[in-house]
Chain A
Amino acid sequence: MSFNEIVCVINNSQLIIKIMLDIRIPIGLMFTVLGVMISIYGIITNSNAVMYTKSFGININIWSGLGMLLFGLIMLALTRIKKKV
């Protein structure tokens, strides 16, 4: 989706309503956003060894973030397969 298309969607509140009525879309959108946010945060803080001693040196932010992103995208993809709410 290009930037212009996104602006177009946002301007069209009827369309937003139609999208949000399928619960898979808000779920998918939310986890995609959170997933991207937390994985980027994980990448930025990756050099901070002290922060990740709690999680035994595992960068739990990157792993959780990627997991959420994947889940969010699967939810969004599911809306394409079966049109019904």
Chain B
Amino acid sequence: MEIFQLAWIDYAVMIIYFAFVLGIGWVLKRYMKDASAFLEAGRSMPAWVAGLAFISTNLGALEVMGMTGSGAKYGMLTTHFYWIGAIPAMVFLALFMMPFYYGSKARSVPEYLKLRFDEKTRGLNAILFAVMTILASGISMYALALLMEKVLGWDFNVSLLLSAAIVLGYTYLGGLSSAIYNEVLQFFIIVIGLLPIVFLSLHEVGGWHGLKDGLAPIVEAKGYAADTFTTTWKHTGSATANPMGVEWYGIFAGLGFVLSFGYWCTNFLIVQRAMAAESTTAARNTPLIGAIPKMFIPFLIIVPGIVALVLMNNPTSGFTIPAMANGQPNYDLTIIMLLKHYLPAGVLGLGLTALLASFMSGMAGNVSAFNTVWTYDIYQSYIRPATNDKEADSKHYLKVGRLATIFGVLVSIAAAYLAGLFGNIMDFLQTIFSMINAPLFAVIFLGMFWKRATGHAAFIGLLSGFAIALLHHGLTIPAGATTLVKGGWITVLHTYPVEMAQNFWTAIYACAASALITVTISLATKQQKTDSELVGLVYSLTPKLKEENVAWYNRSSTLAIFVLILATILTVMFW
């Protein structure tokens, strides 16, 4: 099924966008004189640039496509991934964690673990992160090529290699700076490219009130209260009253706490953007500035998804979503079908460019995080340690960082082909890797706020949290699952109504177990680090940050209050 016939203007828009993308890399090339410039962007980014890149890294194509689809499946309940599932964690990262990540001069999250705990904890995290990142990059490359083949009728291999070449081009030339600048560019093209859809889709159904009226009969036919799809918390009193199948406390604890804190506060891919900021204040403000657009992204991608649900149920609209093999609509294609439904040549090219851009910046983000962890945490730690000659070292690590970029892209291509051959195994690996974050959050949190936490405890805490997550996944299953990839590969002790509930509880158990074990072993082992070694790494031993010399509107505390008030207003408006 070829969905689109593109006009010359659509190709022209794409070509201009990618010319700018590569141009930015080319310009930044001559500033890449040492490893720090290439791998850490020289710690020189203004807060607003780092903040937009921070949010853009998360706004990948799989997120855009997935969240629009979730809008059609769950309605406004999907906003839980934003207002409760992201904002509190971002504020926490900014206020309480960034001072240690940034102030410790660590160049990566694994390096923070090395400074705070010990070498083995760093090694474990660095290796898992490197593998996971390259895998994620390969999977998103595969998804992109598949989409281009199906939707645009382009050759799969050509699409894959072309997108890999563009990503390699600008990350090889300009390193992290280039990735960050392009993420900012991508942020604006996504917002501007998708706005016509928001406008036209709401126009068709008669605005927000028209949307509510149109939804009522459809939602009632599904067996829910008429306003279930346009409210957020109202119908979360019981798991059966809403399509997500989770109660309010599951959302609050699972999504709002464990999953989101695990993702936003420990994922180096995200944190790296804030670490590239120009000062401690800028580093703290980065997640807060990112939080402001993050709050409004639901209106850009979830609301059109909800409109799609109304259109699907109205035969005169002519809107359909292609079915999957099992007869269910393939909700991941919702955004593509909306593009087709509304956009004439011209803006259509813009919308498609926005999607392609978000795929590629996702890959570039992964590659630029991979080469930093590889160069500093694996190569410099285990293969060739730093010498006394700082200048020669820096040149050497710059070369290694560049080679790691090429290597990373090549392995991603291999992973993309593997994903095509063994889709299930890749799904399974991704599920497994998603289990790393929850225990990691428990360990880093204890490390930052409890000076007694020891290296042995952190290492065992990470491993055992991961083991508990695996065990929980092996013993439970979501209702209707047909493959062992979804869980239950040991034996089935419990069945969850939906997969999301299983994910929430996997993370909750893993985080709790990891925290408990880390505390217990810390109390039983001796702290190897002296108090003076832990200054700048642990809350109670670090001098409090003073904000008096920062203008009041630039202070992180002011911004944080503003962000929280805004999120509260949105939550109440759509309660």
Judge: A and B partners, yes or no: yes
Contact of A61 with B203 at beta-carbon distance under 8 Å, contacts A26-B24, A30-B16 already known: no
- CB-contact partner of B20 in A26, A37, A45, A56, under 8 A: A26
- B188 partner residues in chain A, CB cutoff 8 A: 27, 31, 71
Interface of chain A: mostly helix, strand, loop or mixed: helix
- B16 partner residues in chain A, CB cutoff 8 A: 30, 33-34, 37
How many angstroms between the C-alpha atoms of A51 and B7 in the bound complex?
12
Beta-carbon contacts under 8 Å, B2-24 to A: 9, 12-13, 16-17, 20, 23-24
Q: Mark contacts of B339-367 with chain A using CB atoms, 8 A cut-off: 1 yes-contact digit, 0 otherwise.
A: 00111111100100000000000000000
Question: Does A26 contact B192, Cβ atoms closer than 8 Å?
Answer: no
- CB-contact partner of B346 in A20, A23, A41, A85, under 8 A: A41
- B204 partner residues in chain A, CB cutoff 8 A: 56
Chain B interface residue count, CB cutoff 8 Å, equals 32
Question: Does A71 contact B192, Cβ atoms closer than 8 Å?
Answer: yes
Beta-carbon contacts under 8 Å, A34-78 to B: 34, 37-38, 41-42, 45, 51-52, 54-56, 58, 60-61, 63-65, 67-68, 71
How many angstroms between the C-alpha atoms of A60 and B203 in the bound complex?
12
- A42 partner residues in chain B, CB cutoff 8 A: 346
- CB-contact partner of A38 in B24, B46, B341, B346, under 8 A: B346
Question: Does B27 contact A30, Cβ atoms closer than 8 Å?
Answer: no
- B195 partner residues in chain A, CB cutoff 8 A: 64, 67
Question: Does B350 contact A64, Cβ atoms closer than 8 Å?
Answer: yes
Question: Does B346 contact A67, Cβ atoms closer than 8 Å?
Answer: no
- Is residue A1 contacting chain B, with contact meaning CB distance below 8 A? no
- A21 partner residues in chain B, CB cutoff 8 A: 27-28, 31
Question: Does A34 contact B341, Cβ atoms closer than 8 Å?
Answer: no
How many angstroms between the C-alpha atoms of A34 and B189 in the bound complex?
11
| Given A52-B344, A55-B343, A58-B203; 6 other pairs, CB 8 A cutoff | A23-B49, A38-B9, A38-B13, A60-B343, A65-B346, A71-B188
A-B contact pairs, 29 of them (CB 8 A): A20-B24, A21-B27, A23-B181, A26-B24, A27-B184, A27-B185, A30-B185, A33-B16, A34-B16, A38-B9, A38-B346, A41-B9, A41-B345, A41-B346, A51-B345, A54-B341, A54-B343, A54-B344, A55-B196, A55-B343, A55-B344, A58-B200, A60-B343, A60-B347, A61-B347, A64-B196, A64-B347, A64-B350, A71-B188
